Structures are given as structure tokens and as C-alpha cells.
Amino acid sequence: MTDLRYPIGKFEAPKNMTKELRNKLISEIAEAPSQLRKAVSGLNSQQLNTPYRDGGWTVIQVVHHLPDSHMNSYTRCKLAVTEKAPTIKPYNEARWAELPDATGLDPEVSLVLLDALHRRWVVFLQSLTEEQFQCIFHHPDAGVMSLDRTLALYAWHGRHHVAHINALRKRMGW
């Protein structure tokens, strides 16, 4: 049986980052908001409040998690480019997912937020030089993160959570 936690597999960092691969990953960041919107299109309140797996977040929590997570990553990327190897502050994503804005807010709010955020993030990423993609930040839990690794991780992250919703829809016949 497929592990419902990782419908597209666990993240694996690219062994060799090229300009072509970077461009592909940036395109995936650009497409993530529309992919998420498509994944939740037409879902009713009961469906939005269904966990994507036993013990997992509800669809609405996943929708609100994406801009929470991606805002943090966007900020970390900008810190890495504007400061010398900053140490960032992690956030407790599980606790954030329990807050009222992640459990009861209309998903459209986060869909619009993710769209605007990704527009900014893509412009930022497209402006970076080869040297800037090597900039790093220190994550207290994950260790040293380059912008290349972060780009790959968050392109995967968007696909990963959209796949959670799409896999649930398929299993439930929605």
C-alpha cells in the first residue's frame, strides 16, 4: 500500500542543479497556487473538513498551511540573500494548523494569499544570480540550507500537498 503521507514520495534534493532544472522548479512554484485551487475546486464544507489521511490534517488545514509555510520560506530566502548566513527561526507548523485561521477561515483567503505570495517569490527567484542561489541560511532543525536546496524543497512541497488533496478526492470519489 502507498504511504498516504508521501503521495509523490519523500523529498530528494537534486544531485546536480542546473539552470534548466532551476527554471523548471521556479515554474513549479509559479504553478502551485493554480494547482491548489484546482485541487479544492467544488469541495463543500464537509469535504474541506475531511482529513487527507487518518491522523492527518484536513483539506482546509492543508490549504491554509501552504501560505504559512511558503511565507516563511520566502522570508528565509530573502534573508539568505541580504544577510550573511543568517540563522532563521523555525515555526511550529502543527500548532499553526490548529489555530482558528487554519481551521475555520474560508479557503479562498489562503488561495488568494498563496497566489500573491508566489507571484512575488517567482519574480525574486528569477532575479537571482548563480552566486545568489548558493547563499545559505542556518535552520536550527534542518541545518544549512542553500537557496538551490530550498527552491527544490518548496517546489516539491507544493506538489506534495496538492497530491494529498487529489489522492483524497480520488479515494473518496469526489
75 within some domain: yes
Q: Residue 11 domain-assigned?
A: no
**Is 13 part of any domain?**
no
Q: Residue 58: which residues within 8 A CB-CB, separation 6 or more?
A: 48, 49, 50, 51, 52, 103
Cα angle: 82, vertex 84, 85; to 5 degrees: 110
Averages of pLDDT over each 10 residues, the chain, 174 residues: 90 97 98 98 98 97 98 98 97 97 97 98 98 98 97 98 98 98
* 10 is a domain residue: no
Structural domain harbouring 30: 19-172
Residue 27 lies in a domain: yes
In this structure, is residue 93 part of a structural domain? Answer: yes
CATH code for the domain of 165: 1.20.120.450
Q: What total number of domains does the chain contain?
A: 1
Contact 76, 91 (CB under 8 A): no
**Is 1 contained in some domain?**
no
Q: What is the pLDDT of residues 115-137, one digit of tens each?
A: 999 999 999 999 999 999 999 99
Whole-prediction pTM value? 0.97
In a domain, 157, yes or no: yes
Q: Given this model, what pLDDT does residue 2 score?
A: 79
